[in-house]
Amino acid sequence: MNTVEVVFATPKIQRFLEVDVEPGATLIEAVVMSNIMSDFPEYDIGELKKGVWGEVKADDYVVVDGDRIEIYRPLVADPRETRKRRAGRRS
């Protein structure tokens, strides 16, 4: 068995779950097995990007022991625009 961590966060809720998967399991299989999205019914797992250790991966990526699978939600604000607004206020 391989143990992977599946993580997802909103501004109010963060979930970190460990799940044991068979060797050869894919990223999406691990996410589904974790059942993490049951806490976030407003999000469609098929529409969200996913990655491992900060690098976006395809759903068919084969996970390995120790991987940290991250589910990325859409950003509320563009970070570049936010920085520009803050910089403009300091001028």
Q: The domain spanning residue 54 has which CATH number?
A: 3.10.20.30
Domain count, the chain: 1
Structural domain for 52, as ranges: 2-90
Question: Does 91 or 32 have the greater pLDDT score?
Answer: 32
CA–CA–CA angle 55, 5, 51 (5° rounding): 20
CA pair distance 12, 80, nearest whole angstrom: 23
In the numeric block, the tokens 């520009």 are attached to 84
- Report which secondary-structure segment, H or E, holds 68: strand 68-72
Do residues 23 and 55 touch, judged by C-beta distance below 8 A? no
Beta bridge partners of 68: 5
Q: What percent of the chain has pLDDT over 90?
A: 73
For range 72-89, the mean pLDDT: 75
Looking at the predicted structure, is the pLDDT value of residue 78 above 70? no
Looking at the predicted structure, is the pLDDT value of residue 16 above 90? yes
CA pair distance 60, 62, nearest whole angstrom: 6
